[in-house]
């Protein structure tokens, strides 16, 4: 049904080698035959079989992407950046949702490998030794996006989370806040948990603010409801706080929702700063002030790095830390004026 190179060759009265040549190196064949072949290709609607090509070239122009939870807004922009960069370099993306589940992650890696993808982008999650072993076995380049590894030399693209958290807290301090709470991911999370806590605490320290971490930090998962629940606990044990740093926009919205429900005015009575600058930050009320990550660009750069690696080129930088910045909107009150 789908026509093959043989069909084209037959119709154009040439060998399949010649057909192959007009596809890969047209100048090398005589005008006469070339035209005939081109016409046959047109008439048969012939399109080369990428499997056969891939088998020979050991290159599929396909990249695998592992995402922990694809329904999270965070990945929408990241994936778009990857998609655009992939499209630009002639690659396609196979996206695997791993559901934060080790088995599914490993099995995804296995089928990606069987499908001979040229490289892998691994997002968000920390790299544990067993994952690293699997990576090595795969035998294809890997780039980390929105995560990194200090133990292993794997190229990565992310923001400096410690510094970003520092900047968020300092921003609040500069606005006159001294009793600042934090809603964070787990301290056991070496990517977006611990470093942000460290940055937050460093800012307090730097500015001589003496706050007991036990009291001013509360933990929760990254969903809206987790933020809501966490801030309920935090507010109970730290009622005098005037500002709050929630380390994801979704968490921040959960907090704001809690405040709305309890008639606590944002930002009049409490200020909130989020993290990520996903699209919702500009769509909610009041609009969320937040630490922006260049998500689209991170996705883009991750793919570009991967493509470079696949082509055997070297990277200027193993671990790239992209600039973050603060987007001032409406949820932080300036106490200094």
Partner DNA sequence: CTGAAAGCGCTTACAG
| Count of alpha carbons within 13 angstroms of residue 181, beta-carbon side | 26
Listed ranges 12-20, 85-93, 160-168, 212-220: which one lies at the site for a copy of itself (CB under 8 A)? 85-93
Question: 98 phi and psi, to 5 degrees?
Answer: -95, -10
Tokens coding 83: 């998609």
Binding to DNA by residue 137, rule CB under 7 A? no
Given candidates 35, 42, 84, 88, which one binds a copy of itself under the rule CB under 8 A? 84
Count residues binding a copy of itself (CB under 8 A). 57
Given candidates 17, 128, 205, 282, which one binds a copy of itself under the rule CB under 8 A? 282
Tokens coding 2: 């789908």
Task: Specify the residue for token string 């968000």.
Answer: 124
User: Does a cis peptide bond (omega within 30 degrees of 0) precede residue 267?
Assistant: yes
User: Does a cis peptide bond (omega within 30 degrees of 0) precede residue 255?
Assistant: no
Given candidates 13, 100, 102, 137, which one binds a copy of itself under the rule CB under 8 A? 137
DSSP character string of 248-299: SHHHHHHHHHHHHHTT--TTTT-EEEEEE--GGGGTSSSPPEEEE--HHHHH
Calpha distance 195→185 (Å, rounded): 10
Given candidates 25, 45, 153, 314, which one binds a copy of itself under the rule CB under 8 A? 45
Residue placing its CB nearer to DNA in the complex, 28 or 111: 28
Question: Cβ 40 to DNA, closest distance in Å?
Answer: 12
Per the CB < 8 A criterion, the answer to whether 164 and 176 are in contact is no
Given candidates 4, 61, 89, 257, which one binds DNA under the rule CB under 7 A? 4
Binding site for a copy of itself (CB under 8 A): 1-2, 45, 47-52, 54-55, 60-62, 70-73, 75-77, 79-80, 83-84, 87, 92-97, 104, 110-116, 137, 139, 224, 250, 253-254, 256-257, 260, 279-280, 282-287
Binding site for DNA (CB under 7 A): 2, 4-6, 14-21, 23-24, 28-30, 32-33, 46, 48-49, 52-53, 55-57
């Amino acid at each position: 049904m789908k026509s093959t190179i043989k069909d084209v060759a037959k119709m154009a009265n040439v060998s399949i080698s010649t057909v192959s040549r007009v596809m890969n190196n047209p100048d090398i064949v005589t005008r006469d035959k070339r035209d005939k072949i081109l016409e046959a290709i047109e008439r048969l609607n012939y399109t080369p079989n990428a499997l056969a090509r891939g088998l020979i070239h050991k290159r599929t122009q396909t990249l695998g992407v592992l995402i922990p939870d694809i329904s999270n807004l965070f990945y929408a922009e990241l994936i778009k950046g990857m998609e655009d960069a992939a499209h630009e370099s002639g690659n396609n993306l196979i996206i695997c949702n791993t559901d934060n589940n080790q088995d599914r992650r490993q099995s995804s890696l296995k089928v990606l490998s069987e499908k001979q993808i040229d490289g892998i982008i691994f997002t968000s999650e920390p790299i544990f030794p067993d994952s690293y072993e699997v990576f090595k076995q795969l035998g294809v380049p890997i780039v980390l996006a929105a995560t990194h590894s200090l133990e292993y030399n794997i190229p990565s693209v992310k923001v400096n989370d410690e510094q970003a958290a520092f900047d968020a807290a300092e921003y609040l301090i500069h606005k006159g806040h001294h009793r600042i709470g934090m809603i964070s991911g787990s301290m056991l999370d070496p990517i977006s948990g611990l470093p942000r806590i460290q940055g937050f605490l460093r800012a307090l320290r730097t500015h001589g603010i003496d706050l007991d971490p036990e009291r001013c930090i509360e933990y929760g998962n990254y969903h809206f409801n987790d933020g809501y629940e966490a801030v309920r606990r935090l507010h109970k044990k730290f009622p005098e706080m005037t500002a709050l740093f929630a380390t994801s926009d979704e968490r921040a919205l959960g907090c704001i929702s809690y405040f709305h429900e309890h008639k606590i005015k944002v930002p009049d009575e409490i200020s909130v700063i989020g993290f990520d600058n996903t699209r919702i930050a500009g769509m909610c009320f009041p609009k969320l002030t937040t630490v922006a990550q260049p998500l689209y660009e991170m996705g883009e750069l991750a793919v570009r790095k991967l493509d470079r690696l696949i082509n055997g080129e070297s990277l200027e930088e193993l671990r790239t830390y992209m600039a973050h910045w603060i987007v001032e909107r409406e949820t932080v009150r300036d106490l200094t004026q």
